Amino acid sequence: MALDAMRGDFFGQDVEIDASGSIRPGDSWRVNRGILQEHADEIGARIVGPSETPPMSPHARGFSRLISLGIAKPVEMTTWEPDYGRKAEAQVRWEAAHGRELGND
C-alpha cells in the first residue's frame, strides 16, 4: 500500500492478504517512487493506494478490523498529534521563502 507523502516521497507498507482475507502487515517506510516500485517488483507485489491506477482508497470500516487484530491501536484524539518524521510542507516553504528556519529570530 502506498500513500503520497509529498515532496516526491510515499509512505509505503507491505501488506499480505491471504485467500481467507487475513491481513499480515509487514514493514512500513517512507521512500521515493523509484525505490517503492523496485521493492514491489522484487517481491512480486502490486502497489495500491489513492493515487495509483486504478485508485484504491482505504475505507474507515477497515480500521476496526485492524484494531481488532492488534495491528492498529485506538488513540485519545483530544491529545494525539501526528509524527510525520519531518517538517510540515508549509514550514519548508516558509523557510525557503525567508532563507532561515522558522522560529529562529
* Residue span of the structural domain in which 12 resides: 2-73
Whether 65 is in a domain gets the answer yes
Whether 100 is in a domain gets the answer no
d(CA 16, CA 18): 6
* 78-99 pLDDT tens trace: 998 877 778 888 998 999 999 9
Residue pair 28/5 in contact (Cβ under 8 Å)? The answer is: no
58: left (phi over 0), alpha (psi -120 to 50) or beta: beta
Confidence (pTM): 0.60
Total structural domains in the chain? Answer: 1
Whether 24 is in a domain gets the answer yes
With cut-offs at 50, 70 and 90, classify the pLDDT of residue 104: low
With cut-offs at 50, 70 and 90, classify the pLDDT of residue 39: very high
3-state secondary structure of 88: coil
Question: Quick one: which of 14, 7, 11, 18 has its CA closest to 39?
Answer: 14
d(CA 15, CA 45): 9
